[in-house]
Amino acid sequence: MYYFASDIHLGAGDEATARRIEARFTAWLDEVSRDAKAVFIVGDLFDFWFEYGRVVPKGFVRTLGKLADMTSHGIRVVFLTGNHDMWVGDYLEKECGVEVHTRPMFVELGGKRLFVAHGDNMKIEGQPLLKFMNTVFRSKTLRFLFSWLVHPDLAVRFGRWWSGKSRKAHGAEIDRSVLKPLAEYAGELGNVHDLECCIFGHMHLAADIVTEHMRVLFLGEWETAPAYAEMTDEGELTLKYLKTE
């Protein structure tokens, strides 16, 4: 089996909320570890992550330990970075055995060709401010300067404040119409790359959209309505909703 999840946002909210979300996610990892060949985390595993040369944000030990245990037992764990955790370095790879991708990926699973991406910097033509912010936050030069000039405590404080603002703004986007640009983009990709399905996160709204030529899955978020996708070895892909307490 192959599993896909996104937008866990570990560390988001108050301490009780953050602990509840992490417990929910690690319990899910325990469950899928029973038959998983691979688990794809499609961005925003963390609500904020900035990795210095020798410093990483404290916390998340339950998740990191579980991921390390999974990879040590031969389960492939693939992490595609999102807009909240794009500043990863080599820590997750070296410490946990996680396969990190900073760009979308094409992958063949169960006899199907898929495109997997967080979706945060796609179909943003006509949004100059958003394009500028993407350029700034992905600049290796600015990231280097930030790591040298800003103390980790200040960096994490700023990052969590910024991430909180972003999540609140995103939380208002509950209408399915917000999915249309990425769904259209998926159709364009499918025509060029002979795809059968595209899988996205980022939108915080789970959906399974089927058109004449393309299937598009949006994975949802893990605080209020956790959803994930699973694919059998035969290529049967299903969007599922996790039962919450």
What pLDDT score was predicted for residue 131? 54
CA 68 – CA 95 distance, rounded (Å): 7
Domain CATH for 151: 3.60.21.10
What pLDDT score was predicted for residue 135? 64
From first to last of its 245 residues, the chain has per-residue pLDDT tens of 999 999 999 999 899 999 999 999 999 999 999 999 999 999 999 998 888 888 888 889 999 999 999 999 999 999 999 988 888 889 999 999 999 999 999 999 999 999 999 988 666 565 565 555 566 566 667 766 767 777 777 776 766 666 666 655 555 556 777 888 888 889 888 888 889 999 999 989 999 998 777 899 999 899 988 999 999 999 999 999 987 76
Phi-psi region of 225 (alpha: psi -120 to 50; beta: other; left: phi over 0): beta
Q: What letter would DSSP give residue 179?
A: G
In degrees rounded to 5, what are phi and psi of residue 20?
A: -65, -45
Contacts of residue 78, Cβ cutoff 8 Å, sequence gap at least 6:
38, 39, 40, 41, 98, 99, 101, 105
CA 42 – CA 82 distance, rounded (Å): 7
The token pair at 209 is 């959209």
What pLDDT score was predicted for residue 187? 87
Cα 153 to Cα 57, 156, 159, 217: the distances in Å are: 9, 5, 10, 37
CA 217 – CA 26 distance, rounded (Å): 23
- One-letter amino acid at 215 equals R
What pLDDT score was predicted for residue 126? 59
**Interhelix angle 15-32/61-72, nearest 10 degrees:** 10
What pLDDT score was predicted for residue 123? 60
What pLDDT score was predicted for residue 170? 55
What pLDDT score was predicted for residue 50? 85
CA 6 – CA 119 distance, rounded (Å): 11
What pLDDT score was predicted for residue 39? 98
Residue pair 74/94 in contact (Cβ under 8 Å)? The answer is no
Domain count, the chain: 1
pTM: 0.88
Containing structural domain, residue 187: 2-241
Cα 2 to Cα 36, 136, 216, 244: the distances in Å are: 6, 34, 17, 22
Span between the terminal Cα atoms of the chain, in Å = 25
